[in-house]
Amino acid sequence: MRVFSGVQPTGNIHIGNYLGALRQFVALQDEGECIYCIVDLHAITLPKDPSELRSHILDVAALYMAIGLDPKRSILFVQSDVPGHAELSWILTCCAYTGELSRMTQFKDKSRGNESAPAGLFLYPVLMAADILLYDADVVPVGQDQKQHIELTRDLAVRVNNRFGDDTLVVPDGRFLKEGARVMALDDPTSKMSKSAESEMSRISLLDDDAKIKKAIMRATTDSDGEIRYDIERKPGISNLLSIYGAFSGRSVDDVAAQYQGQGYGSLKKDLVEVTVDALRPIKERFCEIRPSGELVDALRDGAERANAIAARVLARVQGKFGLGV
């Protein structure tokens, strides 16, 4: 089984990214051949400061290793170091329909009908499909918000295969977790936790200090009925805290809810602070060791070389099917 996934090199990698996607990356190392990318070409769909981008690429690489990804067992690399991503992306762009791309909710949210929205935002899902299909990936671990993009990837693969044969592209499956696939903002549990929300209190970043973690959880928006129960519709705040708790401690939300039955929100929050602080401590410690070390860049160069060997083979196969080149 081959696994592929990617994370954008932006600051503020948060517990939503970790619980929805990154912790799956680690577990899957025992199940298959894993390829994890830092998708810098996706990051420039909106203008980025170049030196900040470079530094965020290394931050995500160090975080990958800090959570337990092993650059010897898995391939860790930067997207723009492998030219095949952009090349396959163009081929797939020619197979995608403008209609289906206009229906992508992420595009609609980010462009909001703005005539000057970069075309890269529109083509973002095609580049993501190229990332995945370039490695014949079987499984793609992601959070719930990527479901529509995975569906498009599958549709494109099937469309290409219908034209050129089933041996052209591997049709991948998304892999979503039960707890943590959609972590909501702490200060507004009706919208998802995001890297870009203005308020720092909306998220817990993996590198936040203990005081900030405590503040964000203790201030998290809840409700006034005082009952600890999992009910996303009526009690989005408490449900979000229960699911973060469950995901960090490897327990089901029902189990956690049963434990706090009859207690106040304060005790649930206090314990969640402890669970979160304990879970993030080793990640922060390893990050601080790895980030300044020269091994980081060496690992990424080695990863790019190994990724390129696979990508070049798949790209040549696809180009051949399309009749491209001499």
Which residues are catalytically annotated?
Answer: 110, 192, 195
98 CB-near residues (< 8 Å, 6+ apart) = none
* 222 neighbors 265 (Cβ within 8 angstroms): yes
183 interacts with, out of ligand AMP, ligand TRP, none, CB within 5 to 8 A per kind: ligand AMP
Nearest CA-CA partner of 136 in 94, 158, 169: 169
Residue type, 85: H
Binding test (CB under 6 A) with ligand AMP, winner from 3, 16, 169, 208: 16
- Could you tell me the smallest distance in angstroms from the CB atom of residue 243 to ligand AMP? 10
- Residue 33 pairs in a beta bridge with 2
- Binding partner selected for residue 306 from ligand AMP, ligand TRP, none, CB under the kind-specific 5 to 8 Å limit: none
Q: Which of 190, 181, 180, 166 is nearest to 321 (CA)?
A: 166
Give Cβ neighbours of residue 108 (< 8 Å, ≥ 6 apart): 102
By a kind-dependent CB cut-off of 5 to 8 A, residue 71 interacts, out of ligand AMP, ligand TRP, none, with: none
By a kind-dependent CB cut-off of 5 to 8 A, residue 131 interacts, out of ligand AMP, ligand TRP, none, with: ligand TRP
CA 28 distance to own-chain centroid = 14
CA distance 293 to 295: 5
Q: Is residue 123 within a helix (H) or strand (E), and if so which, with residue range?
A: helix 119-133
Residue number, 126 or 273, with CB nearest to ligand TRP: 126
Min CB(152)–ligand AMP separation in Å: 14
Cβ closest to ligand AMP, residue 148 vs residue 252: 148
User: What does the DSSP 8-state code read for residue 140?
Assistant: E
Residue 182 interacts, among ligand TRP, ligand AMP, none and using kind-specific CB cut-offs from 5 to 8 Å, with ligand AMP
Other beta carbons within 10 angstroms of residue 318's beta carbon come to: 22
Q: Contact residues for ligand TRP (CB under 6 A)?
A: 4-6, 8, 39, 42, 128, 131-132, 140, 142, 146, 149
Q: How far is the CB of 184 from ligand AMP (least distance, A)?
A: 7
The neighbour count for residue 121, using CB atoms within 10 Å, is 18
How far apart (Å, rounded) are the C-alpha atoms in residues 272 and 217?
A: 8
The only residue of 3, 4, 20, 213 in contact with ligand AMP, by rule CB under 6 A? 20
Q: Among 74, 79, 89, 146, which residue interacts with ligand AMP (rule: CB under 6 A)?
A: 146
x/- string (CB under 6 A) for ligand AMP, residues 158-197?
-----------------------xxx--------xx-x--
Q: Which does 140 bind (CB under 5 to 8 A by kind): ligand TRP, ligand AMP, none?
A: ligand TRP
Q: Contact between 143 and ligand AMP (CB under 6 A)?
A: yes
* Total residues binding ligand AMP (CB under 6 A): 16
**H or E element at residue 38:** strand 33-38
Distance CA 170, CA 132 (A): 9
Residues that bind ligand AMP (CB under 6 A): 7-8, 16-17, 20-21, 142-143, 145-146, 181-183, 192-193, 195
